Structures are given as C-alpha cells and as structure tokens.
Structure 1
Amino acid sequence: MNFIKNNLANAITLGNLLSGCIGAIHLISGDYQTTAFCIVLSLILDFFDGFTARALKANSNLGTQLDSLADMVSFGLIPGLTMFKILEPFGHEISGLQLPFEIKYFGFLITLFSCLRLAIFNLDEEQKYYFKGLNTPSNTILIFGLYYAFRHEEIFVHLVNNSILMIILTILSSWLLISPIKMIAMKFKSMKLQDNYPKIAFLIGAIIILIIFKAVGIPLVIIYYILISLIFQKQLK
C-alpha cells in the first residue's frame, strides 16, 4: 500500500511523458489533431501528478526530477518540433536570402531553451506563487495553438507563411522562457480578493477570449496571459 502511495504521482508523471512521446510521433507524421489531444492530456496529467503528490504527502526529489524530464518531452520537444514543421517549407531560404543550412532546424532553439528553463526552475526556490519567465506548458500552447489554428481553421496564414516573423517568434519564445519577467501562477497564497486580482483578471479574460474566438483563441489566451502578467508585475510576489 505504501508503495502505491509513494509512486502513484510518479506513475501519473510517466503518463505525461508517454502522452508527450505519442504526441511528438503524430506531429512528425502530420496528425496534428492527435498531437493536440496528447498535449491536453499531458497538461491534465502534469497538474494531477503534483496535486496527487501533495494530497498523499508523497513529494520527493525523484518526483521533481521525473516531472521536469517528462515536461521536457511534452512541453519542450513538442513546441520545438512544431516550429520545425512551421519552418520546414522555407528550406534554405528566408525572404529571398539563401542560407547554407535548412532553416527548419532553428525551431529547436525553443527546445534548447525549454530545457534550460526547466533546469533553472528546479534550482530556483523563489518561484512558489509566480513563475519567472514563461512556463513551458504555456509556451507549448502558444506555439502549437498557432500551428493548430493555421492548420485547422486556416487562420494566421500571413503570419505562419512569413519566415522572418516565425524566426522572430522563435527567438522571442525562447527568450521569454528564461526571462526575468514575473508570470501569473495559479497557486493561491491566500484567499483574500486583493491578493488574487491577477489570477481573476486572467481567468475572466481567458474565458471571454475562448468564448469569442473558440479554438483560434488558444494562442491569444497566452498572449493575454503575458500581457496581464506585465500589468500586474508589482502584485506578483
């Protein structure tokens, strides 16, 4: 019984990893809808592994390391692979400029910085009630959500088909992962209303965006998340 209690959260984390692996394979084959399902499943499992560990009082260093390793695939490899797919049609060319290498590999800059972000997070004891920099799940939702809206709804066509803008997004996304900007975390330090204004403002805005724009609003929610975090910088502590 103790064995199950001590390892249930780790089993959920491994489920996150498996979902990320399956999502990556389907993304390579062009089945972006299955990848979308796997990302959602990984998000759910990523939430419940920590929730389960706290509820069962089974937190451990092993669980912390497993969580980051699983996130590295689900929320590190997948966004990098998504940008790889976006940049793939451009070949060696960026807006007429010929390069000695295929620009698609530049997309994995997001994967490298995701790895760096996860390592920094594991060593930083300050990020209890807020994130420092954009967390990897949010970054994955931003990058893949853009690709999904492009493929599923044929939205953001002029953005996705512009190699310069996609390179800029790759660099910006990578920087945000390790930036010093404080970002809202859905962890409640207290139940006082004034302490939770940033979270309330984000949740209300996110719901409105999704109601209006539906699936297309998914990357817009992350952009709103970044903006609302910038507005409430002083309240995040």
Structure 2
Amino acid sequence: MNFIKNNLANALTLGNLFSGCVGAVHLVLGDYQTTAICIILSLVLDFFDGFVARALKSNSNLGVQLDSLADMVSFGFVPGLTMFVALAQNSNMDFPWYCYLGFLITVFSCLRLAIFNLDEDQKYYFKGLNTPSNTVLIFGLYYAFKENQSFGFLFDNINFLLGLTVVSSWLLISPIKMIAMKFKSMKLKDNYPKLALLIGAIIILLVFKTVGIPLVIIYYMIVSLLFQQQLK
C-alpha cells in the first residue's frame, strides 16, 4: 500500500510524458485533433500529480525531476513541433531551414523549466509564461486555424509565425509575474487576480469557443500585467 501511495503521483507524471509523446507523433502525422486530446490529458495529469503528491504527502526529489522532464516533452517539445509543422505547411519546399527555428520554443521551454526549478520565489506566482500556458497558446492558435481558418493572417505569413516564435520564446523567460492558481490566503481581496482570470476565461470560452482557447492565454497575460503589484 505504501508503494502505491509513494508512487501514484509519479505514475501520473509519467502518464503526462506518455501522452505528450503520443501527441507529438500524431501531430507529425497530421492528426492534430488527437494531439489536442493528448495535450488536454497531459494538462490534467500535470495538475493532478502535484495535487496527489501534496494530498498523500509523497513529495520527493524524484517527483520534482520527473515533473520537469515530462513537461519538457508535453509542454516543451510539442509546442516547438507545432511551430515547426506550421512553418513547414506554409512553404512550398520540403522543410526549409527556417522551419527549424520553431524549435526555439523548445529550447526556451527547457531554459524556463531549469530556471523555475532553481527559483525559490515562484511559490505563489510564475515569473514568465509557464510552459503549459505557452503550449495552449501556440497549439490553440494552430488548432483554431485548422478547424475553421481562424487566425489565417498569422498562419499565412511566415514572418508573423517567426515573430510569434520569438515572442513566445521571450515570454517563457521574461521577468513578468504571472498568476498561479495557488492560494496563499483565502481572503477575497488577496484573490482578486485569480477571480478576474477565472471569470474572464469562462466568458471568453463561452463566447468564442474554439477560438477562445488561445485568447484565454492572452487574457491571462493581460490580467497578470494589471495585477503585478499583488503577485508576490
């Protein structure tokens, strides 16, 4: 019984990793809908591995390392691969050199995860855009485009895609404080940023549906900027 208790969180983390691997394969095969399901599953497992570890008091150094390694695939490699695919599909040539610049997102995701592991200040907020949110932004834009041609202005222009790659890479390691859904206090006034984010995100998704997925991340960044002084 103790074996299950001590390793349940790690099993969820490895499930996140496995889901990310499957999602990457299907993205290369052109099955972006299965990739979307895999990303959602990875997000759920990434949330619950930490939740379970805290609930069962089974936190460990191994779990910390596994979490970052799993995130590197699901939320580091997958968004970089998404940009690679988007750039490749925008070209008449087979994999021109600039397609590989999409993996700058993967490189900076790796750097961001390493910085996060060493930064003891990021307990109740994130410094820079966290990798799951960045994945939702990049893949969410791609998914909306493939589903109903939304954001066509972006995916029909190589320069815009490269610009998004640079912005995404910078956001991952930027000094901007971002809201984390961790509660330091249960006082209402201390949680205004989280409430504003939650209510706004629900409204955006109800109104815009699929298109609203990347818009929620943009809204998340805007709300975080507005509440910089309260994030600590």
Say which SS state the counterpart of residue 134 (structure 1) adopts: coil
Q: Is there any run of 5+ residues in structure 1 with no aligned partner, and where?
A: 94-100
Tell me how far 1:90 sits from its aligned partner.
4.2
Per-residue CA deviation, residues 159-198 of structure 1 (Å, 9 max, x unaligned), is 1111111111100000000000000000000110110000
1:70 corresponding residue in structure 2: 70
2:143 corresponding residue in structure 1: 148
Say which SS state the counterpart of residue 183 (structure 1) adopts: strand
2:117 to 116, 122, 125: 122
Give the conservation status (yes or no) of the 8 Å contact 2:90–2:155.
no
Distance in structure 1 (CA, Å) of the matches to 2:137 and 2:89: 20
The question of 1:22 aligning with 2:22 is answered yes
Give the conservation status (yes or no) of the 8 Å contact 1:78–1:140.
yes
Distance in structure 2 (CA, Å) of the matches to 1:80 and 1:65: 21
2:9 corresponding residue in structure 1: 9
Q: Which range moved further: 150-159 or 83-92?
A: 83-92
- State the aligned residue count: 230
Distance in structure 2 (CA, Å) of the matches to 1:211 and 1:226: 19
Runs of 4+ in structure 1 deviating by more than 6 angstroms, as ranges, are none
Give the conservation status (yes or no) of the 8 Å contact 1:184–1:229.
yes
Give the conservation status (yes or no) of the 8 Å contact 1:133–1:181.
yes
Which residue identity is paired with 2:149? E
Tell me how far 1:63 sits from its aligned partner.
0.1
2:79 corresponding residue in structure 1: 79
Q: Cα RMSD between the aligned structures?
A: 1.1
1:131 corresponding residue in structure 2: 126
Say which SS state the counterpart of residue 126 (structure 2) adopts: strand
Distance in structure 1 (CA, Å) of the matches to 2:203 and 2:42: 24
Distance in structure 1 (CA, Å) of the matches to 2:97 and 2:153: 21
TM-score, normalized by length of structure 2? Answer: 0.97
Which residue identity is paired with 2:19? S
Seq. identity, %: 75
Q: Which range moved further: 151-160 or 138-147?
A: 151-160
Which residue identity is paired with 1:113? F
1:159 to 154, 161, 167: 154
Give the conservation status (yes or no) of the 8 Å contact 1:43–1:137.
yes
The alpha-carbon distance between structure 1 residues 197 and 152, as it changes in their structure 2 partners (threshold 3 A), is same
1:201 to 196, 201, 213: 196
Distance in structure 1 (CA, Å) of the matches to 2:90 and 2:136: 23
1:98 corresponding residue in structure 2: none
Tell me how far 1:158 sits from its aligned partner.
1.3
Q: Is there any run of 5+ residues in structure 2 with no aligned partner, and where?
A: none
Distance in structure 2 (CA, Å) of the matches to 1:90 and 1:225: 29
1:230 corresponding residue in structure 2: 225
Give the conservation status (yes or no) of the 8 Å contact 1:83–1:143.
yes
1:55 corresponding residue in structure 2: 55
Which residue identity is paired with 1:137? P
Distance in structure 1 (CA, Å) of the matches to 2:11 and 2:150: 38
1:39 corresponding residue in structure 2: 39
Tell me how far 1:89 sits from its aligned partner.
3.1
